[in-house]
């Protein structure tokens, strides 16, 4: 079932046309990657879905219902949760307080403690630091807190904007592993990433944005066969694996 459908979205910032007719969809249970260079329009797409940016043309529907024109709070209440670029946690609040803020829109108050326990089991480091100021966490730990806080709203659809940004390689691998585990728990994920290699390893499908347009979309295997991707995004050249190699094969 299609959870989210974006059709022919156009966004302008003054004279800059940031999105020039972007269409994409996310089916229930999928990890969908949104990849592309700096300035391609990835965050603008996310912010349009969240009601933070107002498109001049196009439609956005969530479970068949139009989202465009609705305020961000109404959109979040429908079960769409953002984790944004540069992890916006509240550093002076404790880890637990940050998690509870994520649940602020929920009405099932008695379930909240159970979910704190659940996500602390999933992210043990957060469980160990519940009463400490979130600002004391390392960058990677803050990133996990940002994801856990988004999960506290009990979302159907998680919009992740560059969750691996600024993380050391080991933590990047950890974050991507967590993303696949979340999908296995039934959370649908739209994942914006600069880390194209890792994204294509975990995504079910992906869209390649180029200066405000979808240049290519398909399964990771299809995208890797696309002529330019190796060159443009994987630092590629002749060392690329053959297009027919299985997905699990190393990309060296």
Ligand X SMILES: Nc1ncnc2c1ncn2[C@@H]1O[C@H](COP(=O)(O)OP(=O)(O)OP(=O)(O)O)[C@@H](O)[C@H]1O
Establish if 142 lies at the interface with ligand X (CB under 6 A): no
- What does the alpha-carbon distance between residue 207 and residue 219 come to, in Å, rounded to a whole number? 9
Residues 58, 234: Cα–Cα separation, whole Å: 31
Q: Report d(CA 235, CA 44) in Å as an integer.
A: 25
Q: Which of 38, 107, 131, 244 binds ligand X (CB under 6 A)?
A: 38
Which positions touch Mg ion (CB under 5 A)? Answer: 42-43
Under rule CB under 6 A, residue 41 binds ligand X: yes
Q: Tell me whether residue 98 or residue 199 sits nearer to ligand X (CB atom).
A: 199
Total binding residues toward ligand X, as defined by CB under 6 A: 12
The whole-angstrom separation of Cα 189 and Cα 182 is 8
C-alpha to C-alpha distance for 234 and 48, rounded to whole angstroms: 28
Find the binding residues for ligand X in span 187-246 (CB under 6 A).
Answer: 194
Tokens matching residue 127: 């469980």
The reply to whether 39 sits near ligand X by the rule CB under 6 A is yes
Q: Measured between alpha carbons, how far apart are the two ends of the chain, in Å? A: 36
Bridge-based pairing of strands 188-193 and 31-35 is: parallel
Chain positions 9 to 28 lying near ligand X, rule: CB under 6 A, are 13, 16, 18
Picked from ligand X, Mg ion, none, the partner binding residue 13 (CB below 5 to 8 A depending on kind) is ligand X
Report what 87 binds from ligand X, Mg ion, none; CB cut-off 5-8 Å by kind: none
Binding footprint of ligand X on the chain (CB under 6 A): 13, 16, 18, 36, 38-44, 194
């Amino acid at each position: 079932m299609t959870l989210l459908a974006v059709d022919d979205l156009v966004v302008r910032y003054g004279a800059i046309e940031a999105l020039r007719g972007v269409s994409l969809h996310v089916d229930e249970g999928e990890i969908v990657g949104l990849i592309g260079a700096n300035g391609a329009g990835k965050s603008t797409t996310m912010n349009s879905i969240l009601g933070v940016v107002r498109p001049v043309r196009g439609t956005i529907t969530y479970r068949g219902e139009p989202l465009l024109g609705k305020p961000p709070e109404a959109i979040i209440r429908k079960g769409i949760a953002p984790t944004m670029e540069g992890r916006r946690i509240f550093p002076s609040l404790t880890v637990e307080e940050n998690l509870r803020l994520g649940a602020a829109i929920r009405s099932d108050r008695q379930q909240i403690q159970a979910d704190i326990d659940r996500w602390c089991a999933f992210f043990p480091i957060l469980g160990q630091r519940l009463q400490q100021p979130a600002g004391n966490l390392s960058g990677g730990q803050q990133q996990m807190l940002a994801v856990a806080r988004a999960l506290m709203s009990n979302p159907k659809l998680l919009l992740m904007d560059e969750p691996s940004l600024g993380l050391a390689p080991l933590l990047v691998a950890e974050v991507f592993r967590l993303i696949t585990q979340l999908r296995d728990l039934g959370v649908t994920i739209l994942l914006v990433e600069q880390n194209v290699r890792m994204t294509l390893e975990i995504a079910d499908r992906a869209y390649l944005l180029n200066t405000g347009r979808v240049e290519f979309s398909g399964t990771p295997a299809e995208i890797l066969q696309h002529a330019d991707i190796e060159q443009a995004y994987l630092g590629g050249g002749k060392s690329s694996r053959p297009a027919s190699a299985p997905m699990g094969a190393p990309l060296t």
